[in-house]
Amino acid sequence: METTLNNGVKMPAIAYGVFKMPNDASTTQRVKEALELGYRHIDTAAVYGNEEAVGAALQGCGIPREELFITTKCWNDDMRSDNVENAFHESLAKLKLDYLDLYLIHWPVKGKFTEAYQVFEKLYHSKKIRAIGVSNFHMGHFQELDKVKTIVPAVNQIELHPYLSQKDLVEYCGKHDIIVEAWSPLGAAKNDLLKDPILQSIGEKHGKTPAQIVLRWNIECGVVPLPKSSTPSRIKENFE
């Protein structure tokens, strides 16, 4: 299952996220397992500190590069215009890739993100990135970006789940042809979303787990979820 970005690039409709996973062989193994199960979209970030572990998995997976969709993000400390390109190439080297499928501004750092985005546009035009986007942006950030951008962001990655539906922001992104990705699609640790009795009831009715119901809800809403797990059975469950 795929979604089409505003520049025509096809992106898998679900991603495997590696937030808070270590930069070691265990993460390499989990990513390999995700790829073996059928995931083709892997989402990491410079600040996660595990791009090398992800890169090791990609190197040995045996899947043609054109079938993979790899996302990483530029961290706040690198958002000065004179450092964005260096940060990009460092991520690329750690991931052992020749190009990125999607590069995101991780947070809208005041006074920096518009300048950084202009460097993103340069990298996009150089064919080193297939699509560029943002993360954790709200309407005001997009309005600020409108003053300098020549390319509409392809993606906005935000916290989104049934307890935080962000309806207005999702509608804004839809109106401007920006695909929404959901981090923490299964809810924050503090809210026990997966114990919600309504979700449990729906899951029982359809023979699915609450997590599977929530991920399907995301996809039906046109949102690309990024479930994260280091447990093989959960990785499999989230993809089914």
The catalytic residue positions are 48
Backbone torsion region of residue 15, taken as left when φ is above 0, otherwise alpha when ψ lies between -120 and 50, otherwise beta:
beta
CA-to-CA distance for 71 and 73, rounded, in angstroms?
Answer: 7
159-167 long-range contacts (CB < 8 A, ≥24 apart) are 159/183, 159/184, 159/188, 160/184, 160/185, 160/218, 160/223, 161/185, 161/186, 161/187, 161/188, 161/193, 161/214, 162/187, 162/193, 162/196, 162/199, 162/214, 162/217, 163/187, 163/188, 163/191, 163/193, 164/188
Distance from C-alpha of 18 to C-alpha of 219, rounded to nearest angstrom: 20
What residue has token string 């995700």? 34
